[in-house]
Amino acid sequence: MRADARDNRARIMTAADDVFGRSPSASTDDVARLAGVGIATVFRHFPTKTELLEAVLTLRLERLRERARELSGDAEPGKAFFEFFTQVVSESASKLAIAEALTAAGAVAGAEAQEAGRGMRSAFNDLLTAAQRAGAVRTDAEFPEVYALLIGASRGATAAKLDPAVRDRMLTLIYAGLKPYA
């Protein structure tokens, strides 16, 4: 791919992440305007809105996976686990908006997005395991229920449109339940 084409694709992805993250009903015209390219350039890179949405969702999941992997090397595994949990919940509204837009377009996440999702879940599990070994998270909290808490908190914060202070208090309550008994 030529350098200008790579630059255009990167600008389109950045714009799509922003536009669709704010409004599931946004259009590819909105993306083109924000990216500073013509609509034909958007469709040259992503022939359908669905393909663009899937690429943005995949990118989001890959970023979360990489962030979890980055945090896995932290000297304080408990702090790293709770930091990642907070990040996922804090960013959930825009990620869920993108997933809703994909669903509204009549599509489901494709193979790349599913693979990125599996990678993110695996990296989250690694953070959980490290936090448990460090004594920061109770050992009877297994991955399925902790992941369900992450998803529930993310969806709940988004659906209730919680302001950051309320969201943080909700997370404090969840974290108190995850920490080992004193």
Alpha helices in 36-91 (DSSP H): 39-45, 49-71, 77-90
Percent of the chain with pLDDT over 70: 96
- Spell out the residues 6+ positions from residue 88 whose beta carbon is closer than 8 angstroms to its own: 64, 150, 154
> Over the stretch 52-80, which tens digit does the pLDDT of each residue have?
988 988 988 899 999 999 999 899 999 99
Lowest mean pLDDT among 34-43, 61-70, 87-96, 133-142: 87-96
Q: What are the pLDDT digits (tens) for 1-15?
A: 688 888 999 999 999
- Asked if residue 68 lies in contact with residue 127, where contact means CB atoms within 8 angstroms, the answer is yes
Q: Could you report the per-residue pLDDT of 119-140, keeping only the tens digit for each?
A: 999 999 999 999 999 999 999 9
pLDDT at residue 91 in the model: 87
Where is average pLDDT lowest: 65-69, 103-107, 124-128, 145-149? 103-107
**Token pair in block for residue 124:** 């989250």
Q: Number of helices and strands (H, E) in the chain?
A: 9, 0
Q: Is the pLDDT of residue 151 over 70?
A: yes
Going along the chain from its start, the domains and CATH numbers come out as 1-47 (1.10.10), 49-178 (1.10.357.10)
- Nearest-angstrom CA–CA distance, 81 and 134: 11
In this model, does residue 169 exceed pLDDT 70? yes
